[in-house]
Amino acid sequence: MRDSIDWGVPYLGTQTIYLPTSQIIFTVLRFCEEQVVGEPPSFSEFIKTEAGMALFISGGWRTALFGLPWQNQLIIWRIGFAIFALIATWFLLLTLAHLGRSPWWAVLFAWHPLTIVETAGMAHQDAVGIALLMAAIWAWICGSLSLRERAGVRGLADSLSLENP
């Protein structure tokens, strides 16, 4: 399926490297984006404009991203992955509280520039895996479930959070 967001995919002919969990998240975020933003303007049409071409010539494609119309800047995706970073922070806070450790470790994670830039800035999907991994750790350490139930929850969260081997 080709749409106006395909300009951000560098190798359209290559099979995806993302797991089904990530693909589901991508589909949900794309649906939400269409509901909120609508179909973004075609990037191929934008680059044909004088402003679009000037952006690419002057500073390369990374610089040009900042000059895109707001509909092409994946705002909903950035918000979505930032929410996953907040979920990871929440599970980290719960785990630290259960272990009697300082909540400042969770603040250190949440306010770390890498967390902020890669999730809210670059819409990087690793926040999903980190949130699921923290959910698995919380379920294993803090859950009020039986050992068998904890193992099941942990296994499910672990399997959803794994990267491709």
CA distance 83 to 79: 6
Tell me whether residue 116 is in a domain. yes
Choose one of 21, 52, 72: the last residue of a domain: 72
Q: What is the pLDDT of residues 3-20, one digit of tens each?
A: 555 555 656 666 777 777
In this structure, the answer to whether residues 47 and 94 fall within a common structural domain is: no
Choose one of 27, 56, 72: the last residue of a domain: 72
In this structure, the answer to whether residues 58 and 86 fall within a common structural domain is: no
CA distance 162 to 165: 8
6-15 — which CB contacts under 8 Å span 24+ positions? 7/43, 7/44, 7/72, 8/43, 8/74
- Domain residues for 63? 13-72
3 state SS of 24: helix
Tell me whether residue 4 is in a domain. no
In this structure, the answer to whether residues 81 and 137 fall within a common structural domain is: yes
Tell me whether residue 105 is in a domain. yes
Choose one of 72, 92, 123: the last residue of a domain: 72
In this structure, the answer to whether residues 36 and 61 fall within a common structural domain is: yes
In this structure, the answer to whether residues 83 and 156 fall within a common structural domain is: yes
Q: Shortest CA distance to 129 belongs to which of 94, 77, 84?
A: 84
The tokens 């099979």 sit on which residue? Answer: 15
Average pLDDT taken over every residue of the chain: 77
Tell me whether residue 149 is in a domain. yes
pTM of this structure? 0.71
Domain count, the chain: 2
Q: What is the pLDDT of residues 52-100, one digit of tens each?
A: 666 666 555 555 556 566 666 678 888 999 999 999 999 999 999 999 9
Tell me whether residue 60 is in a domain. yes
CA distance 28 to 9: 18
Q: Shortest CA distance to 69 belongs to which of 93, 95, 89, 42?
A: 42
In this structure, the answer to whether residues 122 and 83 fall within a common structural domain is: yes
In this structure, the answer to whether residues 20 and 80 fall within a common structural domain is: no
Q: What is the pLDDT of residues 12-41, one digit of tens each?
A: 666 777 777 888 888 888 888 888 877 766
In this structure, the answer to whether residues 92 and 106 fall within a common structural domain is: yes
